[in-house]
Amino acid sequence: MKVTDPASRRDGAVADILVEDGAIRAVGQRIDAKDAEIIDGEGRLHAAPGLVDMHVHLRDPGFPDKEDILSGCRAAAAGGVTSLLCMPNTKPAVDTPETVRYILDKAANADAHVYVAAAITKGLGDAAELCDFQALREAGACAFSNDGRPVVDSRKMAQAMRAAAELGVPVVSHCEDLYLSAGGLMNEGAVSRALGVPGVPAAAEDCGTAREIALAAAYGVPVHICHVSTKTSVALIRDARRRGVQVTGETAPHYFALTDEELRDRDADKRMSPPLRTEEDRLTVIEALRDGTLQAIATDHAPHTPQEKADFAKAPNGSIGMETSLAAGITFLVKPGLLTMTELIRLMSTSPARLLGLHAGTLAEGAPADVVVFDPDEVWTVDPDSLHGKSRNAVFKGRELTGRVKATICGGRFVWREGV
């Protein structure tokens, strides 16, 4: 099959991959392996390092009706995701070593490798004291974040960024000025005004992004900006990187594929935070992926129950996306010629693994056998009832996408297989 591995500079050439004892043993032409189980790609299928999704809500502990660790990892496997970073807004919040260990223990036999982003403040509260970063790191946390409840106190955030830098652990920041976004249901603009719906101005994200960049610059420490959605945040990150500030960023498939026009039908499954923006923002996000301003694509997979999502005005924000992320990238970026397949895999696997310091994102010999096998040309329609997590709030539901995961290998074990 065709092998794409940016880390090994493999750019879609036909090759064999030998997996043995949970590791990649060889990649090359006509590998002779006795008694091996064979997947014959026939030049039709592609193989790449398993996707690394650095922004996932598993809802466990606390919200098992929405998702749990095992169901979330089943969804990951069906989407070719072999490593994921779970966010800390659970109940209780991931603010103690015990909760970190609970997640890692429960994920030990799951269908994906689970990594933990621990909370910055106790209980994710802005008035609360900082968590014990050292203890959380020793328990297994590999990032720190308050995600959807950003740290309002700038002094406290500066302390967190400096403490995390001393441990060599990234801070991943949901950038939002909560005063500006208060009460908003969708992007503030022509569509929100037409619907008579309170909006969230782009400035809410932009002010948060500007603050994190200012702190990173002032203290000489790194910060990673989550789910970038606005043209101004892109410009701020681009300028900061040119000045040598240690800032990186990610976006999500819905921000490069969709706009706030989608909400004219008042479907709460299309509400998330930050919200879908304008066409100008969407095009700017795509350009940021192309020129390296943004280094990763993550899903912000956020399960909610159908009951929660039934009322447009009262529904919580969030949509699920791990099972559709690769197809969305192929459909909206690769097929139109905006990115090559190699560039897409770099953004969805190699680069996020590097940002998180994970031994993942490559098919190099000796690497863990985390592999996604997919048909880049298969066309399918997203049916929420056929997805594999517990929730159905898929932002791409009913859409025809191109590119289908056919098999996922995690740690040398088939965790997903369909028709191969």
User: What domains does the chain contain, in order, with CATH numbers?
Assistant: 48-364+374-417 (3.20.20.140)
User: How confident is the model over 260-305, as pLDDT tens digits?
Assistant: 999 999 999 999 999 999 999 999 999 999 999 999 999 999 999 9
Q: Is 227 annotated as a binding residue?
A: yes
Q: Is 174 annotated as a binding residue?
A: yes
**What pLDDT does residue 238 have?**
98
Query: How far, in whole angstroms, is CA 420 from its chain's centroid?
Result: 27
Q: Is 55 annotated as a binding residue?
A: yes
Report the sign of the C-alpha dihedral through residues 134, 136, 141, 144, in that order: negative
Annotated active-site residue in 16, 53, 300, 370: 300
Upstream peptide bond of 352 is cis (omega within 30 degrees of 0): no
Cα–Cα nearest to 273, from 176, 351, 192: 176
Q: Is 58 annotated as a binding residue?
A: yes
Q: Is 162 annotated as a binding residue?
A: no
User: How confident is the model over 342-353, as pLDDT tens digits?
Assistant: 999 999 999 999
Mean pLDDT of 103-114: 98
Cα–Cα nearest to 159, from 96, 221, 88, 94: 221
C-alpha–C-alpha distance, residues 158 and 221, integer Å: 9
Q: Is residue 42 scored above 80 in pLDDT?
A: no
Model-wide pTM > 0.95: yes
Helix H or strand E segment including 374: strand 371-381
Higher pLDDT, 420 or 257: 257
At 40, the pLDDT band (50, 70, 90 cuts) reads: confident
C-alpha–C-alpha distance, residues 346 and 168, integer Å: 23
32 is catalytic: no
- Please give the mean pLDDT across all residues of the chain: 97
Please report, as a single letter, which amino acid is at residue 261. E
Mean pLDDT of 166-193: 98
HEC states along 177-226? Answer: CHHHHCCCCEECCHHHHHHCCCEECHHHHHHHHHHHHHHHHHHCCCEEEC
Upstream peptide bond of 275 is cis (omega within 30 degrees of 0): no
